[in-house]
Copies of this chain bind each other. A is one copy, B any other.
Amino acid sequence: MIKLDTIGKITLAIAMAKEGEEAQTLIDKVEKKGYAAARGQVGSMQMEKVIAAVETTARREGLISDVYRDTHSLYHAIMEALSGVCRGQFSLGNALRTVGLGFAVVCGPKDAGDSDEEKWLAVAFYGTIGAPIKGFEHEAIGLGINHF
């Protein structure tokens, strides 16, 4: 249903896809359109672990290189995506809540097919947020896009 024609939709689709084959199929498909993409999963009451999980995945999959510029771009995209997940207070455990999130990091043109040089980076989260009690949670989403 989600058309893979913009960096945002691509990142959201991968974050919302099931880990494994479903996600990999999407990643393979968008690589042919000139995107680099990776997906991960994280569950925690500690915000810093969520941030670290995304950074580790992005670095391990070679989406960002070892220069500060890339990390800076990724960090701010993560923080923006977390705004959508947290909706107001930037805290998890301190606010007595926990998250279970799939996430995706994608690099490439803002619009698929763009031939110009502008490269962007997107981070998306999709999963649940709620009390640390099984079932006492609801869905949450977040998307952060940054120049790269």
Interface residues, chain A, with chain B CB atoms under 8 Å away = 1-2, 6-9, 12-13, 16-17, 26, 46-48, 51-52, 55, 67-69, 71-73, 75-76, 79-80, 83-91, 93-97, 110, 118, 120, 122, 124, 130-131, 133, 135-147
Contacts and interface: CB of A to CB of B under 8 A. Distances in A.
Given A96-B52, A118-B67, A143-B84, A110 B90 contact: no
For the complex of A and B, list the 8 residue pairs with the smallest distance between their C-beta atoms, beginning with the closest: A84-B84, A8-B139, A83-B87, A80-B87, A48-B96, A51-B96, A69-B147, A138-B145
A interface secondary structure, majority:
mixed
A17 B16 CA distance: 16
Contact of A140 (B55, B131, B143): B143
